[in-house]
Amino acid sequence: MEHAELVKQVQTYIPDIKPDELNDALSYAKEKHDGQMRASGEPYYTHPIEVASILADLHMDPATIITAVLHDTLEDTDATYDELSNKFGGEVATLVNGVSKLTQLESKTVEGKQGENFRKLLLAISEDIRVLLVKLADRLHNMRTLHYVREEKRKRISKETLEIYVPLAERIGIHTIKAELEDLAFGYLFPEARESITNRLAYLRKEGTDLVNTIIEELRDLLKEANIEAQVTGREKTRYSIWRKMQRKNVAFEQLSDIMAFRIVTPDIESCYVGLGVIHSKYPTVPGRFKDYISTPKPNGYRSIHTSVIGPQSQRIEIQIRTEDMHKEADFGVAAHWSYKDSGSKSKVTSRDIKKYRWLRELLDILEHEHSPEDFIENTKLELFQDHVYVFTPKGDLIELPFGSTPVDFGYAIHSDIGDRCVGSKINGRIAPLNTKLANGDQVDIITSKSGNPSPTWERFVVTGKARSHIRRYVRTKQRGEYIALGQAMLQKVFRQEGYEYTEKAVAGVTDQFRVEEVDDIFADIGAGNIVTRDVFRAIFPSHKTDIPKTPEEQINNITKGKAKTSKHAPMPIKGLVPGMAVHFARCCHPLPGDRIVGIVTTGKGGTIHTIDCETLETFADTPERWIDVSWGEGPDSPEAHIGRIEVTFENVPGALGTLTTVIGKNGGNITNLKITSRSLDFWEMLIDIYVNDIKHLNNIIAALRATPQIASVSRSRGR
């Protein structure tokens, strides 16, 4: 497209536009981009012209068209904001500045860069939604020419398009751009699937033309008999939407019954409902397939009635009923508010109008509370790329939430404080668990308490990015405080055991050595298990000599250093081995004397001893020649210590961990390793490896632990 063609295109819907303004912008862009080339080999200035043409198809106002022409000048040329403001006005300069990526913030990961760029985009569109319109048009033209870049880049950009820009286009209701972006990205990411669906649609189109025309004629005659003037058309669903439905429902193409949708456009809203009544009285309805988006519009402004019936020719068909204005907004969305009317006047969108996009406010809230670009982009995708349910507050206000949302998501959607203080919920007047999935039409009432706080367990079932962001922030803050207290107490205990007076000044002297900024960071790392307490003590007193640890806490502190003592006595012999064969015990099941065992010959390693019920043995079922019939022999009076592994769940109360290790120590066990597998405000779960003599010794320790009040459960573990 050349200059004159774009000017002519804009004049078709803005006859009184001053061509000089647009021509000046076109000449300026061509001058600034002189010498720059696209991957296709074309001059770069052809790209902004095509972007402007896409927006002209949406009948956008002159400021948006000029912004599209200039949108890359700040980023890719020596143009300045002041220069744009002087030449084209402050409105255009501000819009161009919003679209530009500005300074690329440094990030170590692709996701981080994507997150930072998306942060800036959201901040820009929060001021003026036209920034997003230009960005979507820019992305659309780049997708149209993406075949000129290397395959790896094509896939990365296409994936980003599906995850970010398609949901954004859907959220502001621009179906035309959304559908084309989806189809182009689909073709680059899954070319074979797209081609297969294209071929099947072509076949159906050829075979089913008569059927489609018959259905359209019958619907048209039915409405005409009811004195309803309406346009009736048939529309194929997009290839990408067909593929997504096949993936979501795990069905073949032939099993889909709603490839075609039929649209009825009426002169007014009353005719929509009259037409609906006529159709429902004529044809049986498909249960659960009726949605009234006229009385309850989607957040992006979409309005229409959707219903599915067993229609003409006994075909199951989907029907959409809407007015002409609704039809226009369904295709152009928010762009319709910026388009020029026949009178030449513009329907201006104010900042107050923009604030009606609650989804944008939710994303900005996530932006405010997420410091990590990776977490931000993850939670943003959660917020954007979901189907939705519509529920009501006790006052009757409608709240739109992602499908699968719970009362906790609802609470955070109302206000962050309500989510944080949530302690219970009522759904349709009845008390319901906080993890209950909400359904369309539910009335939800959140019960709050001044002493309430988010629970870490909520993150397992919430689905909104806002809820997850707030819960994670609280957990990070809460856990850090607990780790600091635990770490400080552990370090103080070591000081007392070694006869030193504890002071924070002493700890502050080794912060640089542990590469942290403050004393609390050392305490937090000790409490979280990232730093061994004794290592901190030795860093403070490097010349201090200490005995081999005897207390349970000392055992735990030295685990990661491999200092747990084992017996030096002769090992328990194994009967059935070839003389001189090397043998070791499997880590998958930790066999102990007293267990029924079997040997597996391993090339280069000798024999590996497993318990007879070890799940790993299934992998050797087809190689019986590697199995050895073995058993425990009669060992010395003080046999070698073996590792037994237990799973423990104990209350998260002060002193519980010390009690646990004390019980193990008093019963002759020596902890060699432990791993925290789960932690919450109420309970901690751990895997603990203990040196024991045999299975009887381990069972005695388990029995002693089960008798301990703070221990909720304990059992032998067979896992790694």
Residue carrying structure tokens 């009923």:
321
Residue listed under structure tokens 């621009």: 174
Could you tell me the CA-to-CA distances from 23 to 2, 5, 10, 45, 62 in Å, in that order? 11, 11, 12, 13, 12
Active-site choice (21, 57, 75, 91): 75
Q: How far is CA 326 from CA 240, 319, 583, 634, in A?
A: 24, 15, 77, 87
3-state secondary structure of 256: coil
Q: Per this entry, what is the length of the chain?
A: 720
Q: Which of 159, 168, 160, 162 is nearest to 135 (CA)?
A: 168
CB count in 10 Å sphere of residue 709: 10
Active site (annotated) includes residue 75: yes
Nearest one of 1, 117, 15, 161 to 69, comparing CA atoms: 1
Q: Per the residue annotation, which of 21, 57, 76, 651 is the catalytic one?
A: 76
Residues 6+ apart with CB under 8 A from 102: 74, 75, 120
Inter-residue contact 232 to 271 (CB < 8 Å): no
Determine whether 57 is an active site residue. Answer: no
Strands (E) in 603-720, as ranges, are 606-611, 627-628, 631-632, 642-651, 670-679, 683-692, 711-716
CA distance 678 to 658: 18
Spatial CB neighbours of 497, under 8 Å, sequence gap ≥ 6: 551, 554
For residue 140, what are the CA distances in angstroms to 47, 53, 133, 135, 335? Answer: 11, 11, 11, 9, 15
The answer to whether residues 575 and 644 touch, using CB atoms and an 8 Å cutoff, is no
β-bridge pairing 627-628 and 631-632: unpaired
Give the whole-angstrom CA distance, residue 115 versus residue 122.
10
User: What is the distance between the alpha carbons of residues 169 and 646, in angstroms, rounded to a whole number?
Assistant: 53
User: What long-range pairs does 529-536 form, CB within 8 A, spacing at least 24?
Assistant: 529/676, 531/487, 532/557, 532/558, 532/559, 532/560, 532/561, 533/487, 533/490, 533/491, 533/494, 533/557, 534/494, 534/558, 534/561, 535/561, 536/491, 536/507, 536/510
- Let me know how many helices (H) and strands (E) the chain has, helices first: 29, 20
Q: What CA–CA distance (Å, rounded) separates 97 from 82?
A: 11
Cβ-proximal residues to 348 (8 Å cutoff; 6+ apart), any chain: none
Rounded to whole angstroms, the Cα distance separating 87 from 64 reads 15
* Residues catalogued as catalytic: 75-76
